[in-house]
Amino acid sequence: MIGFSIEERAIMLARYIIDSKDTVRGTAKKYGISKSTVHKDVSERLLKINPALASEVRVVLDENKAERHIRGGQATKMKYSHLPNEKKK
Amino acid at 6: I
pLDDT at res. 67:
83
The set of residues, in sequence order, having a beta carbon less than 8 Å from that of 13 and lying 6+ positions away, is 27, 31, 38, 41, 42
Per-residue pLDDT tens digits for 44-75: 999 999 999 999 999 999 999 898 777 778 77
pLDDT at res. 50:
96
Assign 55 to helix, strand or coil. Answer: helix
Closest CA to 63 of 13, 11, 24: 24
Per-residue pLDDT tens digits for 9-51: 999 999 999 999 999 999 999 999 999 999 999 999 999 999 9
pTM: 0.79
